[in-house]
Amino acid sequence: MNRASGVRMVLRKAGHAMIVWMSTFALAQVNAGPKTFLDTSTKHDVAAARAFETMLPVLRHPRCMNCHSKGDFPRQGNDTHPHFMNVRRGPAGEGVAGVKCSACHQERNLDGPHLPPGAPDWRLPSPDKPMIWEGLTNRQLCELIKDPKQNGGHTIEQTVEHMESPLVQWGWKPGGGRDPVPMSQQDFMGAVKQWATNGAVCPER
């Protein structure tokens, strides 16, 4: 074999090796594509689920549960006992004739221990969308909150806005004799927005 033939053989072998390497690399990229997407999706899912779990101490607290518990009536106190005045939900969640929520609950807390608390639009959810989450698992609660068919037709963005409403924010300043929710407003709303922006995915548990 002369020198020219040897060079050609070396080049052919090098070219073959390059083709094999490029094919292997391309196949690896194809296989890695979906995996990379799934990894990114999973990352957001985990962030959303963890954010919702961070919200739970507020959602499960009496300041929220007193309006989202079983039955057709509100509850009171840290022990969530039925309302003393025998208040009922009513057709719009505002009580019934003669015992309207607004008869005692104004747009702010009344001064003094154990006097009626207050915030704008003080009411229960309406009977067609009662938003009862007592007894639900964490996942069921999450699905309820984000389901427009159960939450009054709200989008995720509108749900975030509701969490910032004066009625919900009242839970941090509930008035004399009542424990506020066990988390700062800033931390809670940070978790709410993180849950929403990461796809509002619900925890598996």
| DSSP code for 162 | H
Any idea what the Cα angle at residue 16 is, between residues 10 and 18, rounded to 5°? 100
188: tokens are 């809670």
pLDDT at 199: 96
Supply the pLDDT for residue 185. Answer: 96
Rounded to whole angstroms, the Cα distance separating 58 from 67 reads: 13
Percent of the chain scored above 70 by pLDDT? 80
pLDDT at position 116 over 70: yes
Q: In the predicted model, what is the mean pLDDT of residues 90-97?
A: 93
Could you tell me the residue ranges of all domains in the chain? 1-32, 47-197
Judge if pTM exceeds 0.95: no
Longest distance between any two alpha carbons in the chain, whole Å: 111
Average pLDDT over residues 151-174: 96
In the chain, pLDDT over 90 holds for what percent of residues?
A: 70
Per-residue pLDDT reduced to its tens digit, 31-40: 444 443 334 5
Of 164, 153, 155, the closest CA to residue 192 belongs to 164
- pLDDT per residue over 97-111, tens digit each? 889 999 999 999 998
Task: Name the token pair of 93.
Answer: 């969640």
Helices 3-59, 138-146: inter-axial angle, 10-degree rounding = 90
What is the model's pLDDT at position 139? 97
| pLDDT for res 173 | 95
CA distances from 104 to 56, 87, 200 (A): 29, 11, 36
